[in-house]
Amino acid sequence: MQVAEDAREDSWKHKSFCEELFSGKFNFGLIYPFPEQSQDDKKIGSEHVAKVLKFLEDNLDPLTLEQTREIPPTVIKGLAEMGMFGIKIPKEYGGLGLSQTNYNRIIHAVGSYCASTAVLLSAHQSIGVPQPLKIFGTPEQKKRFLPRLAKGAISAFALTELEVGSDPAQMKTTATLSEDGKHWIINGTKLWCTNGPVAEIIIVMAVTPPKKLPDGREKKQISAFIVESNSPGFSVLYRCDFMGLKGIQNGLLKFDNVKIPRENLLWDEGKGLKLALVTLNTGRLTLPAAVAGGSRVCFEISRTWCKERSQWGGPIGDHESSAARLLVAAGGTYALDAVAKLTSGLADRGQTDIRIEASVAKLFSTGLSWKIIDNTLQLRGGRGYETALSLKGRGEDYYPIEKLMRDSRINSIIEGTSNIQRLFVSREALDRHLRLAGALFNPKASIGEKLTAVVKASGYYAFWYPRLWLNFAFWPRYAWAGGWEGCYLRYVHKMSARLARKMFHAMVLNGPKLEKKQLTLGRIVDTGSNLFVMAAVLSRYMTRKKNGLLNPSEDIVARRVCASLKAATCSSYNKIRIMPGKSPVLSLSKKIMAGELDWLSEDIADVIRLSRAKK
Ligand SMILES: Cc1cc2nc3c(=O)[nH]c(=O)nc-3n(C[C@H](O)[C@H](O)[C@H](O)COP(=O)(O)OP(=O)(O)OC[C@H]3O[C@@H](n4cnc5c(N)ncnc54)[C@H](O)[C@@H]3O)c2cc1C
CA of 410 to the centre of ligand 1 (A): 10
Atom 44, ligand 1: which residue's CA is nearest? 419
Cβ-count burial 348-371 (b if 16+ within 10 Å, e if not)? beeebbbbbbbbbbbbbbbbbbbe
Query: What pLDDT is recorded for position 511?
Result: 86
Indicate if 80 and 163 belong to the same structural domain.
no
Q: How many domains does the chain have?
A: 4
Cα(17)–Cα(288) distance, integer angstroms: 18
Are residues 107 and 191 located together in one domain of the fold?
A: no
195 and 325 part of one domain: no
Residue 227 placed within a domain: yes
At 155, the amino acid letter reads: S
Mutate to test the pocket of ligand 1, among 243, 363, 414, 520 (most ligand atoms within 8 A of CB): 414
Helices 115-122 & 100-113, crossing angle to 10 degrees? 150
106 with 216, same domain: the answer is: no
Residue 592 domain flag: no
Is 608 within a domain? no
Evaluate whether 527 touches 535 at the Cβ level (below 8 Å): no
Q: Are 101 and 74 in contact (CB under 8 A)?
A: no
| Domain shared by 127 and 224, yes or no | no
Instruction: Identify whether residues 184 and 242 lie together within a single domain.
Output: yes
Ligand 1 environment, Cβ below 6 A: 123, 157-160, 165-166, 192-194, 242, 250, 410, 413-414, 417, 419-420, 518
Q: Are 408 and 244 in contact (CB under 8 A)?
A: yes
Closest ligand 1 atom to residue 417 Cα is 47
ipTM here:
0.98
Closest ligand 1 atom, residue 196 Cα: 8
Question: Probe ligand 1: pick from 417, 422, 516, max atoms within 8 Å of CB?
Answer: 417
Cα 217 to Cα 210, 211, 214, 220, distances in angstroms: 9, 8, 7, 10
Q: Strands 234-239 and 250-261, how do they pair? A: antiparallel
Residue where a domain stops, chosen among 415, 441, 456: 415
Q: Whose CA is nearest to atom 31 of ligand 1?
A: 166
Count Cα atoms within 13 angstroms, Cβ side, for 341: 23
The answer for residues whose C-beta is within 8 angstroms of residue 155's C-beta and 6 or more apart is 124, 128, 129, 130, 149, 195, 199, 200, 201, 202, 203
Write the CA distances from 504 to 22, 255, 613, integer angstroms: 10, 47, 47
Whether residue 245 sits in one domain with residue 171: yes
Domain identity same for 434 and 576 = yes
Ligand 1 centroid distance, CA of 601 (Å) = 27
Distance 304 CA to ligand 1 centre (A): 36
Give catalytic residue positions. Answer: 415
Rounded CA separation 140/607 (Å) = 54
Nearest-CA residue for ligand 1 atom 45 is 419
**Amino acid 4: pLDDT:** 61
CB hemisphere CA count around 98 (13 angstroms): 29
Instruction: Please report the atom of ligand 1 found closest to the CA of residue 195.
Output: 8
The secondary element (H helix, E strand) that includes residue 186 is strand 183-194
242 CA closest ligand 1 atom index:
1
Distance 318 CA to ligand 1 centre (A): 42
Q: What is the pLDDT of residue 26?
A: 96
pLDDT, position 85:
98
Instruction: Give, for ligand 1, the residue of 166, 204, 242 to mutate: max count of ligand atoms closer than 8 Å to Cβ.
Output: 166
Task: Select from 280, 413, 519 the residue to mutate for testing ligand 1; criterion: most ligand atoms less than 8 Å from CB.
Answer: 413
What CATH number did the domain enclosing 205 receive?
2.40.110.10
**Domain check: are 103 and 171 in the same one?**
no
For residues 410 and 514, membership in a common domain is answered with no
Which atom of ligand 1 is the closest one to the Cα of 240?
1
Closest by CA to 229, choosing from 204, 266, 192, is 204
CATH number where 320 lies: 1.20.140.10
**Boundary (domain end) residue, out of 256, 280, 304:** 280
Note whether 48 and 128 are same-domain residues: yes
- Does residue 595 lie within any of the structural domains? no
pLDDT, residue 183, reads 98
Determine which helix (DSSP H) or strand (DSSP E) holds 224, and give its type and residue range: strand 218-228
Residue 596 lies in a domain: no
119 Cα to the center of ligand 1, angstroms = 17
Say if 598 falls within a structural domain.
no
How many angstroms is it from 25 CA to the middle of ligand 1?
A: 33
Q: Which domain holds residue 144?
A: 39-153
Domain boundary among 280, 315, 349: 280
What pLDDT is stored for residue 614 in this prediction?
80
Segments of the chain scoring below 50 in pLDDT:
none
CA of 409 to the centre of ligand 1 (A): 13
Contact residues for 574 (Cβ-Cβ < 8 A; gap 6+): none
The secondary structure of residue 424, as a DSSP letter, is: H
315 domain residue, yes or no: yes
Buried b (16+ CB within 10 A) or exposed e, 157-191: bbbbbeebbeebbebebebeeeeeeebbbbbbbbb
Q: Which positions ≥6 away from 123 have C-beta within 8 Å?
A: 156, 157, 194, 195, 248
Ligand 1 atom, smallest distance to 166 CA: 29
Decide: 264 and 202 in contact? Cβ < 8 Å.
Answer: no
CA–CA gap between residue 429 and residue 423 (Å, rounded): 10
**Residue 62: which CATH number?**
1.10.540.10
Is residue 92 a part of any domain in this protein?
yes
Whether 290 and 216 share a structural domain: no
